[in-house]
Amino acid sequence: MKMKLWEKGQKINEQVFDFTVGDDFILDLHLVKYDCIASIAHARMLNKINILTNEDVNKLIDGLNEIIELNEKGSFEIKKEQEDCHTAIENYLTDKLGELGKKIHTARSRNDQVLTALRLFYRDQGKEIISLMDNLTDSISAFVKKTGDVKIPGYTHMQKAMPSSIKLWGNAFVDSMEDNKSLLVAVLDILDQSPLGTAAGYGVPLEIDREFTARELGFSRVQENPIYAQNSRGKFESSLLHILNQIMFDLNKIATDLILFSMPEFGFFQLPVEFCTGSSIMPQKKNPDVLELLRAKYHVVSACEFQLKNLMSNLISGYNRDMQLSKEPVIKACAITRESLEIGAALFDHLFVNREKCEAAMTEELYATEKVYALVKQGIPFRDAYQQIASKM
């Protein structure tokens, strides 16, 4: 069995090892591609500063591209004894290239390795989520275009209040998603700085070219302060998860509205049959399981944000092993947000509006405020007009 990247020859307590590794070797399968991409940029930089020859860097890049291909096929394995993707990748290169594989870790630490891989992962996740938000708003807009003219009651305090419409209701979520998108773009701009080369949090005693690797990886700038690079872990993720939480908050409200207003007692909306399930005992049931789970998943993402923020508090400056546990809530929240946006768009593509039920719900009291202002237009003081209409209700 190969040595760990940090191993110095002492005997390892397997119980302690299992405890410290946890599920990290499984979670890191999400990061293999990004760690390889960062390693390619790093190898090119080492070539630029004459640590690696042209032949060396070409062999390393070929090996790293092989790993990316294997990972995409689901064939690249991270064994528990390897702990993480960084060790698994270096072991693969060493098996393939011998002593050359051992050179890839020159001028870096696993601390800046994982930071860089995570930044690249977050960047891709953010772009995908923005695209999925666009798909959702397109689906809502198409739904509004077909049914937006239908009047429905507007509610305050869960009581009928004033006239509303499908257009007003649907476009509220379009506008909110646009704000969510603006916030996510702002967070991605904060994430757009390269930590590669900060090593363990205090730099390296070599003249490396961090601007070069930043450009190679598509970052707009270098994260200059190496201590801040480590301190930003958890801080940047917290900003990302807060926006994901806002997206899920909107999906929660959509789900809650549709569950209520698709009930037979309201009947404004009819859910697609394929989005409902039945009962094992009651043959008449069509349960809104998809919406119920969509509603619940907001709370799961909210818990991920809470978990992350608590994990990252009370730590001194620099890297702490607590940070390892920040991967899971972020990866989980990203996955839930993606699948929730996808199912939300599919739902609006098939959602039906019952015009007759909506029309029947537009009862007289909804127009009370309009009647008040009709009197105001006649010169009657608002308070008197209000009291006059209220006395007739």
Mean pLDDT of all residues belonging to the chain = 95
pTM listed for this prediction:
0.93
* Rounded Cα–Cα distance for residues 304 and 17 (Å): 26
Is a pLDDT exceeding 60 seen at residue 362?
A: yes
* Rounded Cα–Cα distance for residues 393 and 385 (Å): 13
Tens digit of each residue's pLDDT (9 = 90 or more) over 337-348: 999 999 999 999
Of 105 and 83, which is predicted with more confidence?
105
* Strand positions, DSSP E, 189-333: 269-270
Distance between the two ends of the chain, CA-based, in angstroms? 83
Tens digit of each residue's pLDDT (9 = 90 or more) over 288-297: 999 999 999 9
Tell me the residue type at 122. Answer: Y
> Residue 195 — φ and ψ, nearest 5°?
-90, -5
- Residue 20: CB atoms within 10 Å: 12
pLDDT at 138: 99
Domain regions of the chain by residue span: 14-103, 110-198+224-361, 363-393
| Active centre residues (catalytic) | 157, 279
Is a pLDDT exceeding 70 seen at residue 70?
A: yes
Task: Fill in the DSSP letter of residue 155.
Answer: E
CB 66 within 8 A of CB 83: no
Q: Tokens 């009862």 belong to which residue? A: 363
Residues sharing a CB contact under 8 Å with residue 288, sequence separation 6 or more, in sequence order: 258, 259, 262, 271, 275, 276
- Which region among 30-34, 271-275, 306-310 has the lowest average model confidence (pLDDT)? 271-275
Look at the domain 110-198+224-361 and name its fold: Fumarase C; Chain A, domain 2 (1.20.200)
The class (CATH top level) of 14-103 is mainly alpha
Complete DSSP assignment for 10-59: PPP-HHHHHHHHTTHHHHGGGTHHHHHHHHHHHHHHHHHTTSS-HHHHHH
Of 78 and 129, which is predicted with more confidence?
129
pLDDT at 4: 52
Q: Across-strand partners of 352?
A: 270
Is a pLDDT exceeding 90 seen at residue 332?
A: yes
Q: How far is CA 127 from the centre of its chain?
A: 10
* Rounded Cα–Cα distance for residues 143 and 150 (Å): 12
Label residue 19 by pLDDT band (50, 70, 90).
Answer: confident
* Strand positions, DSSP E, the chain: 151-156, 159-165, 269-270, 352-353
Q: Tokens 């806002």 belong to which residue? A: 246
Q: How far is CA 51 from the centre of its chain?
A: 38
Tens digit of each residue's pLDDT (9 = 90 or more) over 156-204: 999 999 999 999 999 999 999 999 999 999 999 999 999 999 999 999 9
